[in-house]
Every structure is written in C-alpha cells, then in structure tokens.
Amino acid sequence: MSRVDDAAGAAGGEGARQSGRRMLRRTPDGVKPDVWLMTLFFPAWYAVFGVIICLLTRVTPPPRPDVTAADKVAFFTQHHLTIQIGFTLLLILLGGAAMTNGLVGYQMKRMSVGSVFAYGYIGGMSVGALPGFLLVTVCFLTAAFRPDRDPALISLLYDLGMLSYNGSLGCFTAAYLVLAVAILYDKNNVFPKWFSYVSIWQIITEVIATQMFVFASGPFSWNGSIAFWLAVVVFSVWLGALIVLLRGAARQEPVTAPALA
Amino acid sequence: MDTTGSASGQRAATWAWLTLVVITIGSWWLSPAHSGGTALPSAPITAVVLLLAIIKSRLIIRYFMEVRDAPRWLRHSTDAWLAVLFAAIFVIYLI
Amino acid sequence: MQILEDVQDTPRAGNIKAQWVSLWTGPVVGVVLLLAALAFPGFRPPMSPTMSADQVASFYADHTAWIRFSQATFNLCGILILPFFTVIVVQMKRMKNQSHVFAYCYLTAVVSGATIFALSNVFFLVAAFRTDRSPELIMLLNDLAWIVLIAPVGMVVSQFVLLALAVYFDDPTDPVFPRWVGHFSLFTAAAMVPAAGAAVFHTGPLAWDGLLSFWLRNGAFAVFVIVMFFVLRTALHRQAVEDRVVAA
Amino acid sequence: MTLTARPEQRRDEHVPGDNDMWVMVLGDMIIFAGYFIVFMIYRSMHAREFLAAQEHLDVNIGVVNTVILLTSSWFVVRAVTAARAGRSAQAIRLVYGGGLGGVLFMALKGYEWVAKIRAGHGNSEMFYSFYYVVTGVHLIHVLIGLIVLGTVVRELRNPGRRRATVVESGAIYWHMVDLLWVIIFALFYVMR
C-alpha cells in the first residue's frame, strides 16, 4: 500500500465507514462492517451447505460403499431429482467455500505471526475445494446426467465422487496444520489456544480417513463409525467453535485498525 | 513455589510409578499370548484386567497429571470419563 | 505509461510496472484463448449433449488433431489469465478504510476457480488420447469435460459478488473503481448463474450448448475481462499519478 | 490404595497447566474413548476371531513398551518438580530422559509393526486393522508429545521465561499419551 493511501485513509475513512454502515445497518458498534458481513455469511453458508449435502444430494450421511453396481444405479434413480437440484445449487454456491476460507485467512493475517500461515491456509483450502467439493458434484451430476449409462461406469462415478469427497485429506490437513501452528505462535489472541488443539484433532481424523481407501466396509470405510462418524463429530465441534470464535475475532478488531497490507 | 509440597508430591508420584510398573508386569501373565494358542474368553480375567486398567489410569491422572490437587470440576470430569468408559467397555464385552 | 525518470528504480514504480505487465497479460492471453476456442472443433457449434456415444466417439476420431491442439493450448495458457485477476486483487486492496477481507476472499475464489477450469481440458485431452476406447468411455470423458468446463460457476460468481461488495463498501468520495463497476460485476455474476444447469439439461438454453449456458456465460465473462481491462487501466493510471510515478 | 494424599499435603487447589491444554486433553480422551468403544463393539461381534488374533500380539513388547512409557512419564513428573524448585538444568535433563523414552517407544512400536506385517498380520484381519489404526494414531500423539517436550525444553532454557504453566501443560499432554497407552495395552494385549 502506498504512502498516499495511508494519509488519505484516515481522512476519507469516515465516508467509507458510513457507506459500509448503509450496507449493513445491524453491524455492532466498533466492528468493521465488511468483516461483520462475512462473519454472518460464514454460518449461513454452512447451513445451506448442510441442507444441500444432507437433505438433497444424500452424500452425508454417505451412501454405502459395499453395494453392487445395480444398487448404485438404484441410488441415483431414487435420488435423481434431489441430486440434480442439490448439486446444481452447490455449483452456484460453491464460491461460498472460498469466501468462508478467505475470512479465516483474513483473521489469520491479523495474527502477530505475519502472513505466511494465512497464505498457507488460503492455499490449502483453495486447492481443497476442487477434490473436496467439486469432484463429487461433477461425478454425481454426470452419473445423473445419463442414468442409462453402463452400470459399471455409474459405479465408477459413485466411487470416484465419494472417495474424493470424503477422502481428500492433504489439502485440509495442510490448512489445519498451519492454522494450529499460527494460533500457537500468535500473540494477538485472535483465536484462543485451545482452538489450535481442536484443529490438531481434525488432522488426526484426516489421518484415520486414509483408511477409507482400504476398506469397503467396517469402521474405517467411508461410512464407518470411526473414519466417518467420529470425524463428523470432531468436525462439528471444530466448525461450531470457529463460527463463535470468528464473531469474537471480528468484535475484537478495532474498527479504526488500519487495513491489512 | 512450595518446594516441600512438591517433594512429597514427587515421592507419591514415584510410588505411583512403582505400582504402575508392578501392575503392568503382573498383567503379562494374564495375556492371551500366554495361553499356548488356546486362549478362551474369560469374563473374570477380563474383569480383573479392566479393574487393573482403571487403577493404572487413575494413578496416572491423579499423581502424574496432578489432578488430585485440581479443582473439583476437573477431578470429577476425569473420574466420570473413567467410569463411563470402563462401564461401557465391560457392558459391551458382556453382551 | 511513461514512468518518471527520477523514480524509475523505486519500489512504488516497480509495483506499478508489475501491475501494468500483469494487466497486459489479460488481452494477450485473451487473444490466445480466443484462437484456441476457435480452433476447437467442439465449439463450432458447441457439441450437443444429445449426441449418441458413437457420434461422440467418431467426433473425437475425426477431429483428433485440432482437439489436441486447442485443448493443449487451453491447458498451457488458460491459467495465464490469473495475473490479470491478481491486478484486481491488488486494486481491491487499495480501497480505503476497508478491512480487505473481500480481497482475500476474492483471491481464494480466483485460485479455486482457476483450478477448476484447469481440469476440463485434461478430460478433453484424455478423451482424444485414445480414440479407439469404447464409445461409452469416450462419452463419459466428454460429459465430464463439458460439465466441468461450463457448469461450476460458483467460484466465478462469488468473485463477481465480492468485487461488487468491495466497490459498494469503498470510500464514495475517492473510489478506486467507479460505482457502476459494482453493478456491472453483479450483472455478470447473474449472467453466470444459469450455466449451472448445463449439468442437468440435455436440450434448450440451459444445456451446455445452449444460449444461456454457453453463449451468455462465456460471452459475459469475455465482456467482463474486456471492460475490466479498461477500468483497471484507468485505476492503475490514477494510482501511478497518486504515487507520483507518472506525470499527472 | 496406600497412596492417598494426606490432607496437610494438599496444596491450594489449582488447575495444573492451563485450561487450553485441558480442552485438548479431555477432548482427546473423549475421542479415544470413542475409538475404544467402537473397538469393543466390533470385538464383541467377532469375539473368537479377535481373541485368536490377539494371541499373535507380542505381549513382551507390549509390557516393555508400557514400562518405557510409564518410566518416561515418571521422568517428566520429576522434571516438573525440578522446574518448580528452580532447578532448570536438572529439569531439562529429566525432560530429555522423558523424550528418550518416547523415542524408544516409537522404535519398539515400529519394530512390532514390521514384525507383524512380515508375519502376515496385515490389516485384512479386523483386529489388526484396529490395531494399526489405534496404535498409529497413538504414535502420532507420541510424536506430538515429543514436539511438546521440545517446547518445554526451549521454555526452560530461556532464563527470562520458565513459566510453570507451560512446563505443566507439556507434562500433562505427555501423561495423557501414557494414559491412553495403558488402556490400549489392556484392551489389545491383555483382555480376553
């Protein structure tokens, strides 16, 4: 950022804040309106996402891995319409994932440890959107696109979709790791230290999730009690905590704080 | 920091460690690997093993993690964890 | 843009120069991609989703060379459009008294969106790699290629929405971009949305060869890049003047 | 038990370490409890198969590893006492002793894994699939514990810091690794 901006930033600041206020009247006092907007968007997006994956597309809780090709065709026939509605919606709304991750990256940039971890988080999560969300969307929509395809190919799309969705581990592990390390080193107390430990649990669940590439049934399969259900519990704790902590972090940042470089 | 209290705490921890080692070596004889390839399920042995595991866990929690000097919520939550976990394990075992 | 001689080697001049170069990659890469698009037989007209497996297979067999040439060009040059969008990020970060949270979200969306685009040409190229494969498999690869190319609009939609939000939250007394850029960006976002239907419909305007999914989506994106080139050029010139890198 | 503390020994109640570390430890204990309970459910569904597989586990290694880990925990207990008394050099040596125990544990565990895989006990057997996952996750905790002990040493080396809570928190994490192993030992090696 240039010197001139810094000088003008202080002078023209009030105008921008006012226009921001107009955008979002209910921003609490002392909170940056644009940050608050994204902070409110965060749980809203995950709520919509939850509805899409749980109620419409039926990928969570996951369909069984240990079924025949005919059963998989039947799965796509039975949920044909909701899969198409849900995943088409997700195609449009997928960018919300980038927005929520960008918000976390923004808060990480406010930490005393500088930008390196924030960029690591943004990088890991941006890459993760492809195998983690997009591939299952495309696979399931392609399967539903021509239900009369050879059942072996439908089965392939089913496995490819589910394994990429549940089994894309590294991108998220990298993001959780840099988040955990950043919180531990941070002196600005953007997030409390215990949240770093919760992120470490997330890494452990990703490690266990490697087993879903090995087992088609049992506790370590992609719908298994350990590889899936325990991981979902940990993820819910992580996500719930993050929603609350992002609000705290937004409130904690002074509205007059200069923009991040 | 109160060094005399620490010293006695350390002595207690040392006793706890000794007890833990003795129990561990004792469990050696109970294990199925010593049955000469014909291990049979045994509820009494399992009960003993689980009891010993509870004692060991509690020794570690109380004396190593120093929970015995901790506020009540921590003492109670660790005890509750032990109780629920081992009760669940034994009940599932019996079913 | 004529950089003043006495600031030639300063960091702020370097910043302007870097943005200037990145900005100009936009039209250059744009022309290359346009040529690639014209060279792709499947775009003249766009292949229909109603083609049978045998028709798709013989299409790949008949046009193998051009498909390979054009899609390899997309593969090689598609992501070169990224520096153009990073200029937008840098300009968003100049907006006053904003936290720049939108800029970081925008950057995340740009990276993800580009990654998705990079995938589609791989499917096209694999389909053209062995044209003697079973037609069912070629059709599967072709479906995946088209759906990945056209339907995943989420990342670009959120880019345009974020740019619009950033413009609306900008300081109205001294904005980086004029306010109409926000409206234009929202309009482009809206023009992208129907293309998501390409993963469902076989015929009509929402099919991947349809008026909305193919022509409106890609047309709006191209218009956005062209318009933003001029908007960014103006914004960059203003920054250069403010930073006293060029004469006013 | 003969080890109940006499009332006059009780110092003022205080949370050892800090609350953040207790979130980690209690949460991890709950997560592991989940693994143990799922293990027990599958074990009771395939009791005979599990017991037969258990017989092939080398209880000697199990016992030695348990004693190693208990002893390393005992070193860390003494390190905390030394740190509180201001004997930082001794505390550092004791933490190194504890860390050495962790390294030995990992080495023996690695040997045990290799031996089991060579003997044909891969994860196609249900018992061994649990064994590899649970002991593997535990090994990751040992590894994290070694990193934690490293931060404790760094804290003790710096004369300007040496905060008791940091040393205590690290110790609590290390004891949790021990605690979880003791239960793994009972469920995988000994019960029948």
Chains D and B touch (3+ CB pairs under 8 A): yes
- Is the per-residue pLDDT at D191 higher than 50? yes
Task: Tell me, yes or no, if A225 comes closer than 8 A to chain D by beta carbon.
Answer: yes
Please report whether residue C199 resides in a domain: yes
Give the chain B residue whose CA is nearest to the CA of D188.
B31
**How confident is the model at residue C182, as a pLDDT?**
95
With beta carbons less than 8 A apart as the criterion, state whether C187 and C204 touch: no
Say if residues A171 and C115 touch (Cβ distance below 8 Å).
Answer: no
Instruction: Identify the burial level of C154 via C-beta atoms within 10 angstroms of its C-beta, where 0-12 means exposed, 13-18 middle and 19 or more buried.
Output: buried
Residue B54 tokens read as 């509870």
- Residue C134 neighbours by CB under 8 Å, 6+ apart: none
Instruction: Indicate the SS3 state at residue C246.
Output: strand
Structural domain contains residue A12: no
pTM > 0.80: yes or no: yes
Mean of the pLDDT values across residues A187-211? Answer: 93
pLDDT at position C10: 84
Select from A35, A89, A98 the Cβ nearest to the Cβ of C155: A98
- When the pLDDT of each residue in chain C is averaged and rounded to a whole number, the result is 92
pLDDT > 60? residue A16: no
**What does each C-alpha distance from C97 to A38, A40, C162, D129 come to in angstroms?**
16, 20, 16, 56
Q: Is residue A258 part of a domain?
A: no
* D41 contacts on B by Cβ (under 8 Å): 92
> What phi, psi does A79 have (nearest 5°)?
-105, 20
Number of structural domains (chain C) is 1
Inter-chain touch D20–A215, beta carbons under 8 Å: no
Report the SS3 class of residue D14. Answer: coil
Nearest by CB to residue A219, choosing from D24, D27, D38, is D38
Q: Which residue of D has its CA nearest to A200?
A: D24
Q: Is residue C248 part of a domain?
A: no
Residues 6 or more apart whose CB falls under 8 angstroms from that of D122 comprise D128
Res. A26 pLDDT band, cuts 50 70 90: low
Distance CA(A215)–CA(B25), nearest Å, equals 36
User: Taking all residues of chain D, what is their mean pLDDT, rounded to a whole number?
Assistant: 90
pLDDT at A5 over 50: no
Return all residues near C166 (Cβ < 8 A) that are at least 6 apart. Answer: A34, C92, C95, C98, C102, C103, C106
Most confident segment among B8-17, C191-200, D116-125: C191-200
Tell me the CA distances in angstroms from C230 to C93, C164, C227, C236, one per residue in order. 19, 17, 6, 10
pLDDT, residue B28, reads 82
CB contact under 8 A, C101 and A38: yes
Q: Is residue C24 part of a domain?
A: yes
- Sign of the Cα torsion C145, C147, C150, C152 reads negative
pLDDT beneath 70, residues of chain B: 1-7, 33-37
- Assess if residue C247 is contained within a domain: no
SS3 C207: coil
Pull the structure tokens for residue A182: 């950043």
ipTM exceeding the 0.90 mark: no
pLDDT at position B2 is 45
Question: What's the domain range around C107?
Answer: 5-242
Smallest CA–CA separation between B30 and chain D, in Å? 6
Architecture of domain D57-190: Up-down Bundle (1.20)
Predicted confidence band of residue A148 (pLDDT cuts 50, 70, 90): very high
Residue A13 has a pLDDT of 45
Which of D9, D71, D185 lies closest to B8 in CB terms?
A: D9
Quick one: pLDDT band at residue A235, thresholds 50, 70, 90? very high
| pLDDT for residue B34 | 67
| pLDDT at position D5 | 44
Task: Please state the domain count of chain A.
Answer: 1
Tell me what the mean pLDDT of segment D119-142 comes to: 92
pLDDT in tens, C28-73: 999 999 999 999 999 989 999 999 999 999 999 999 999 999 999 9
Please state, in angstroms and as integers, the Cα–Cα distance from residue C115 to each residue in A130, A227, D173, following that order: 7, 28, 40
Tokens coding A185: 């080193």
DSSP string spanning A127-169? Answer: HHHIIIIIHHHHHHHHHHH-TTS-HHHHHHHHHHHHHHHHH--
Nearest-by-Cβ selection for C105 from A8, A16, A99: A99
Q: Which of the other chains make 3 or more beta carbon contacts under 8 angstroms with chain D?
A: A, B
In a domain, C121, yes or no: yes
Q: What is the pLDDT of residue A90?
A: 94
Q: Which of the 8 DSSP states describes residue D187?
A: I
How much of chain C exceeds pLDDT 70, in percent?
A: 100
Domain containing residue A227: 31-252
In the structure encoding, which two tokens stand for residue C195, read together? 């293309």
Tell me which of A17-31, A245-259, C124-138, C223-237 is least confident: A17-31
Q: Tell me the one-letter amino acid at A52.
A: I
For chain B positions 57-76, those within 8 Å of chain D (CB to CB) are 57, 59-61, 63-72, 74
